[in-house]
Amino acid sequence: MNTKTALITGASTGIGKELATIHASKGGNLIIIARSEIKLNELKKELEQKYQVNVVVIAKDLSDLNAPQQIYNEVKQRGIEIDYLMNNAGFGALGKFYELDLARQISMINLNVTSLTALTHLFLPEFVKRNRGKILNTSSTASFMPGPLQAVYFATKAYVTFFSNALSEELSGTNITVTNLMPGATKSEFGAISGMDKTEMFKEAATAHSVALDGYNGMLKGKIDVISGLKTMQKLMMAAIPFMPKKMVLKQIRQMQEVK
Q: Which of 160, 165, 210 is nearest to 185 (CA)?
A: 210
What is residue 77's predicted lDDT score, i.e. its pLDDT?
97
| Bridging pattern class, strands 5-9 and 55-59 | unpaired
Q: Which of 165, 41, 158, 167 is nearest to 90 (CA)?
A: 158
| pLDDT category of residue 188 using cuts at 50, 70 and 90 | low
Q: Is the Cα torsion angle 100, 197, 259, 116 positive or negative in sign?
A: positive
Q: Which helix (H) or strand (E) holds 173?
A: none
Tens of pLDDT, residues 12-69: 999 999 999 999 999 999 999 999 999 999 999 999 999 999 999 999 999 999 999 9
What is residue 43's predicted lDDT score, i.e. its pLDDT?
98
Buried b (16+ CB within 10 A) or exposed e, 142-173: bbbbebbbbbbbbbbbbbbbebbbebbeebee
Q: Which of 82, 57, 159 is nearest to 167 (CA)?
A: 159
> What does the pLDDT average to over 171-195?
79
Please state, in angstroms and rounded to a whole number, the distance separating the CA atoms of residues 176 and 217.
Answer: 15
Q: What average pLDDT is seen over the chain?
A: 90
| pLDDT category of residue 136 using cuts at 50, 70 and 90 | very high
Contacts of 7 (CB under 8 A, 6+ apart): 30, 31, 33, 71, 75, 82, 84, 85, 86, 119, 123
- 53: how many CB neighbours lie within 10 A of its CB? 22
pLDDT at position 256 over 90: no
What is residue 144's predicted lDDT score, i.e. its pLDDT?
86
Does the annotation mark 153 as catalytic?
yes
Please state, in angstroms and rounded to a whole number, the distance separating the CA atoms of residues 100 and 51.
Answer: 43
What is residue 254's predicted lDDT score, i.e. its pLDDT?
83
pLDDT at position 196 over 60: no
What is residue 215's predicted lDDT score, i.e. its pLDDT?
97
Residue 253 structural domain: 5-257
User: Where does 78-207 have alpha helices with state H?
Assistant: 102-109, 116-130, 151-170, 189-194
Q: How many domains does the chain have?
A: 1
Counting residues of the chain whose pLDDT is more than 70, the rounded percentage is: 87
What is residue 187's predicted lDDT score, i.e. its pLDDT?
59
Q: How far is CA 206 from CA 80, 125, 154, 234, 235, in A?
A: 34, 35, 19, 12, 14
Question: Which is catalytic among the residues 51, 84, 153, 216?
Answer: 153
| CATH number of the CATH domain containing 236 | 3.40.50.720
pLDDT at position 197 over 70: no
Check: CB of residue 56 under 8 Å from CB of residue 31: yes
pLDDT at position 200 over 70: no
Specify the amino acid at residue 258: E
Higher pLDDT, 136 or 256: 136
Tens of pLDDT, residues 99-113: 999 999 999 999 999
- Which range, of 37-51, 64-78, 232-246, averages the lowest pLDDT? 232-246
